[in-house]
Structure 1
Amino acid sequence: MHVRTEKTDPPVTRLLEAPERLGVLHATVPDMAVPDRDFDGIAEIAAGLFDAQVALVTLIDRQWQWFKAAVGTDETRAPAEDAFCAHVAAAADASLVVLDASTDPRFARHRQVKGPPFLRFYAGAPIMLDGQAVGTVCVLDDKPRADVSQSLIHQLRRLAALAASLFKVKDEARRRALKEAALSREEQRHAMALEAANIGSWLWDIRSGAIAGNSALKRMFGLSADSSVGARDIFGAIHVDDRGATFAKLRQAMKADDEYDGMFRIGDTGRWLLGRGRVHDRDAKGNPLTFIGVTIDVTDQQASAQRTRLLLKELNHRVKNTLAMLQSLARQTLRQTSDPAEFMTAFAGRLQAISEAHGLLSDHEWGTIRLADLIAKQLLPHVSAYADQIELHKDEVSLGPDQAVGLGLVLHELATNAVKYGSLSVPKGKVVLTARNVVEDGDTVLHLTWSEVGGPPVREPKRRGFGSILIERSLDKVLGSSVKVEYLPAGVTALIRLPL
């Protein structure tokens, strides 16, 4: 879907030819000609917000405008110099709104304005990467508009910013995959998901001062993604007024073998970060060796009203309750490797499973969430066709925080094993889940059955790995719960009992 111009405007020509812009575009999105379903949601939201026939997520190179996602058209590209979107990108940080193209001198003679499909309305916002306008999120319609509210334009700009963030996340994941060719496909996917969740996670070697942290952590502290990180870099980035108190809290946590819980600002940006962690292990004399933790950007929560602050207080409480589980996960995972970088990658999937459950609970103000939502969150990253590979038979089930976090981790481990060895390792395999509410002695209990079908023949492993132990023990905080895994020849079956 594009509109031809009579003559390319000079600003548009400069945009299309700009070497810095093209360098950023080709370096960040080398597969720009390939549509990407990960961006479909952005286009669908834009179309819904504006009630528009067509919505696009585009990238613009020297010759072509490529459609990474499109609603209302089957086209995948258009000549760049003929596109409305080139005018948006040429203006960089500004958006473009055309209420009626037939009366706009810039576009009245366009072929698709004068003729079918008789386009009239257009609104677009630029996608900015490293300060360069590389594309747009836009909407088009054959009906003119009398006006467009500033709130809608603001939402369109936010969608464009979201698309830019997603492009950056994808680029980081691609670069990481090239450098870490030995990592499995699932480990790469989990690492990208952790980055998308914007959770900074870190392991501090106290003796050497080295910190193994993910890209989200480095972004929060304003550090280069490719740089090695030390404790001096982290503390140097903290606002000078908060640095002393933060360091004192860390020292006290080490001395008392207690949890570190601190909030501080970043000096260059003024953004607020929440850090949580504790000593992971000590030497024979009791001196701390390593410190493990997570960091979350809480700037928006700090600036929000009382209701948001109360929600943050509940979030802090839940993170504190989950920290013991995170430490246990880290300890068991770390035993499998002495390389901090490999530890971070292997740990990412399990941390992300907990993060997904926390995200759902946070969306519902730490009340209850639907079992179906938790299952979808945990299993979607592991399948290419959810409706074909996941069969769900269920009663309506609501889960509390402890139940959701524990069960989410169980589902993650079962899915990871199914992808590696079970039914999800073959195209026609699938998982059948049956969830029933059962009344036992006057109390409601969830009976959840996980059955793998259509996969390779199954044999019971000779040695129980940490994943198997984790499946059986993730629900220990819920009294009366149990998980039993059976390695039947036709496929793995897990029987889960969970008091509600």
Structure 2
Amino acid sequence: MKDNPALLDNSGEHLDLLLATSEIGIWELDAVTGTALRNLRHDRIFGYDSLLPHWSAEIFLKHVVEEDRERVNALLTASLNDRKSWSFETRIQRADGVDRWISAKGMPKFSDKGEITKFIGHVIDITETKQNEDRLRLLSNELNHRVSNTFTIMNAMIRQTSKKNDTVEQFANTLVERLAALSRSNKVLIAKEAERSSLSEILKMQMDVFADWQTRISVTGNTSVWFSGEASEALAMIFHELLTNALKHGALSVAAGKVSVSITSVGRECHIRWAESDGPTVAAERSTGIGSTILQNSLRDEGTVKLDFAPQGLICDIVIKDSFQRETSDKPTPAATRTREQGLGGVSFSGQRILVIEDDPIIGLDIADILETRGATVSGPFTSVANALEAMREIPDAALLDVNLGHETTDAIALQLSELSVPFLILSGQDRSDLGSAYNGASIISKPFREQDLVNELYRIVC
């Protein structure tokens, strides 16, 4: 195939088109005079609307953020001394104060005698690419954490559900229902942004499973309310527990029973009331199980759930609030199906006060039960740093820390425990390299964990 002379003659026009559409900033520096030529795009990348009368390496380095300046200067100096090309990425601060990322490349040009005559190069704004990389990294870390947490929740459900059912069939049915609810709540989180936090989508997803009873459930108020991913997941589990309880023991267990769900907005808070009527009389004395714990603790620091076991029917008031501060932490009642100090392998924590910090209520309930059946006095489980630090006024003998508590970490707790010489375990789905210096030297129990591994490792550091 022969070259087309006409096309080659127009190569300059094609180059101009390429530069215009790719938004590449180009520059050329005369090695003798120090005169720098640039196109307009070059200076605009650095925040100038028009070409500056003068440009230099010093001006460029002033735009490089202070943390990167020494590294970039060393790269440029080494490249010039070695008479080689250079290529690097760095953060800059534009003339208008906006931080951006750029990719910079350059090379020297030589005369026939081997002397450097000029330098040429280009810069490209890669901020969007870097933001996408950060987002993917964040999503990857979140996915790893969520998968680990999900399996840990499943383990907790299996252990706790086995204590509340008399037959294998009852156990299997209850477990399958709860795992299905967990699966549906996960679908809320991976759906489109507009749907994943929609109250109407959450209600529909749960009520579709209970289609035969939908005519006896009335929903009033605005269901077009959006929630965070964590609150959406929690609400999905809450409505599953309410529906299941209503069918087994509450209003929907008899033909005349009804349920009303009302939604109101108070400021930036969303108030949801679940009210059962015309069902069996509610018993005044009730034991606390995993279902009640899910209802009361699922929203963590993003809201509250209050249960009123009124004789005429259960009333559940749910508040999703703007504030993430929580005043108290509910402590679940330990299960009575195993005696204290029984435990696997004969391990006992009798006389030991153990602090537990875990933001997932199901996992927290499970850990507390595991420790209390072995004689420990459990402080918690706490879902916020503030509550845990308050509880540490009475110094524990040991602690078990989840690293991430929603919008905060347990770094401050780990540091205080270290200062008090209190041994602690880390319970986390994160990679060890992601943990901060506050956790240095502490043993890690990875999620999901085996009950015996948790007990043995805790016993090792306490006894």
TM range (shorter): 0.3 to 0.5
**So what's the TM-score if we normalise by structure 2?**
0.36
